[in-house]
Amino acid sequence: MDDKSLRNIILEELDWDPSFDSADIGVQVSDGVVTLTGHVGSYAEKIAVERACARVKGVKAIAQDIEIRLPSLKKTADDQIAKRALDILAWNVSVPHDRVKVKVQSGFVTLTGECDWQYQKEAAEEAVRKLSGVVGVSNLVALKPRAFASDVKRKIEDALKRNAEAEASQISVSVVGGKVTLEGKVRAFHERSVIESAAWAAPGVLEVEDRVQVTG
C-alpha cells in the first residue's frame, strides 16, 4: 500500500472513532511511518488517537506530536488533580494503591512506587490519564515481582500460540533474568502490541525489549 492510500485510510479511521474529535488532527505518512500532529482536549483523547492509528493495517510506526489544549473550564489545580488521582487509584481493584505514589506539576502526573505485575502498573496509568486537567502521565512505577518463574519463556510462547492475532511461529523469545527479548516479524503494527502484551503478562518479567519488525 502506498503512503497516500494509507493516509486516507487512517483519516477515515480517525473520523470513525467517537472517542475524540479528529477535526484538528493532522496525519503524515512516509514509508509506513505515521506522524500525528494537531491538538486535542485531553490526555485520554491523545492516547485514543494513537490507538486508532495503530489499528490500521500497514502502519509500521507512529510518531506523535499532538498538543493538549484544555478548555478553560477544565483547568484544575495540581492539588485537586493529585487528590482525585489518589481517590481513583484507591477505588481501582487492579492497583495496589498503597504502593503507588502520585506527584502533579502543571497538570503533569508522575507515578512512582512499586507493583508486582505489569498490568497493575498499566492500570494505574490508565486510571489517572482520564482525569480532567491531566496533560500527561509519566509512569515510573517499578516492577518488584515476588517470584520469577523459571519457565517464563514457555509461558510467553504458550500465550502467543493461544492468541489468534499473533503468529507464534514467527516470533522468537529469549529470557535473561527478568528481561525478555522478542524478535521476528509481523504483518501489522497492532500485532506487535499483542505480542508485547503477552510477554508482559508472564510472571516475573521486569523488562521487555521488543525487536519485532512490522513488514505489512
Mean of pLDDT values over 167-179: 79
Mean pLDDT score of the chain = 85
pLDDT at res. 72: 65
The pLDDT score that the predictor gives to residue 37 is 94
Q: What's residue 145's pLDDT? A: 66
Q: Which residue has the cell 486510571?
A: 127
pLDDT value at residue 148: 52
Length of the chain (residues): 216
Percent of the chain residues topping a pLDDT of 90: 39
The 3-class secondary structure across the chain, one letter per residue, is CCHHHHHHHHHHHHHHCCCCCHHHEEEEEECCEEEEEEEECCHHHHHHHHHHHHCCCCCCEEEEEEEECCCHHHCCCHHHHHHHHHHHHHHCCCCCHHHEEEEEECCEEEEEEEECCHHHHHHHHHHHHCCCCCCEEEECCEECCCCCCCCHHHHHHHHHHHCCCCCHHHEEEEEECCEEEEEEEECCHHHHHHHHHHHHCCCCCCEEEECCEECC
Question: What per-residue confidence (pLDDT) applies to 180?
Answer: 86
Q: What is the mean pLDDT of residues 43-65?
A: 91
Tell me the pLDDT band of 149, cut-offs 50, 70 and 90.
very low
pLDDT at residue 186, as a whole number = 84
pLDDT at 203 over 80: no
Q: Is the pLDDT of residue 2 over 70?
A: yes
Please say if the pLDDT value at position 142 is more than 50: yes
pLDDT for 171? 83
Report all structural domains of the chain as residue ranges with CATH numbers, in order of start.
3-69 (3.30.1340.30), 73-143 (3.30.1340.30), 152-214 (3.30.300.130)
Model confidence band, residue 166 (pLDDT cutoffs 50, 70, 90):
low
Q: The C-alpha cell of 90 is what?
A: 484507591
